[in-house]
């Protein structure tokens, strides 16, 4: 974990195949007298489609994709291609909601 006190940013790095649990991050922040206004992640995974919903699946984590801002690229299509995404997380719902800001294919 890296804490940049000048910009009030916390960087947390997870080992591969570790479950993403923002409740633990929020509890730690609360213990320190702080709160997270925004959780943004960089994750590697695939887009899957179920009915009318699209999900981003990274290891055991599964996020519902929500529409990105108009300035962001369109949501990636469902495929077997692995992607790296930068996205903000809304952890108030289950499954968590993911708003992709940037997506690019993983280089082989």
Domain extent listing, the chain: 2-105
CB atoms within 10 A of CB 61: 21
Instruction: Please provide the CATH number assigned to the domain covering 2-105.
Output: 2.40.50
| pLDDT value, residue 13 | 83
Q: Per-residue pLDDT for the chain (108 aa), expressed as one digit of tens each? A: 555 556 677 778 888 888 999 998 888 888 888 888 888 999 999 999 998 888 999 999 999 998 766 776 676 677 778 999 999 999 999 999 999 888 888 887
Question: Is residue 101 within 8 Å of residue 59, measured between CB atoms?
Answer: no
| pLDDT value, residue 6 | 63
Distances (CA, A) of 36 to 19, 33, 53, 85, 104: 19, 11, 27, 20, 26
Closest CA to 100 of 62, 73, 61: 73
| pLDDT value, residue 4 | 56
| pLDDT value, residue 65 | 92
Q: How many angstroms separate the CA atoms of 26 and 92, rounded?
A: 12
Q: Give bridge partners of residue 40 from the DSSP assignment.
A: 88
Could you tell me the two tokens for 40?
Answer: 């943004």
pTM over 0.75, yes/no = yes
Tokens 């499954």: give the residue. 95
What SS3 state is found at 30? helix
């Amino acid at each position: 974990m890296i804490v940049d006190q000048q910009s009030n940013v916390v960087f947390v790095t997870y080992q591969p195949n570790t479950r993403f649990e923002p409740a633990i991050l929020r509890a730690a922040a609360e213990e320190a007298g702080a709160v997270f206004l925004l959780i943004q992640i960089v994750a590697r995974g695939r887009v899957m489609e179920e009915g009318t919903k699209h999900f981003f699946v990274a290891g055991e984590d599964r996020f519902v994709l929500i529409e990105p801002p108009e300035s962001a690229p369109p949501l990636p299509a469902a495929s077997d291609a692995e992607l790296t995404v930068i996205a903000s997380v809304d952890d108030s719902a289950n499954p968590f909601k993911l708003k992709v800001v940037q997506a690019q294919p993983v280089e082989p």
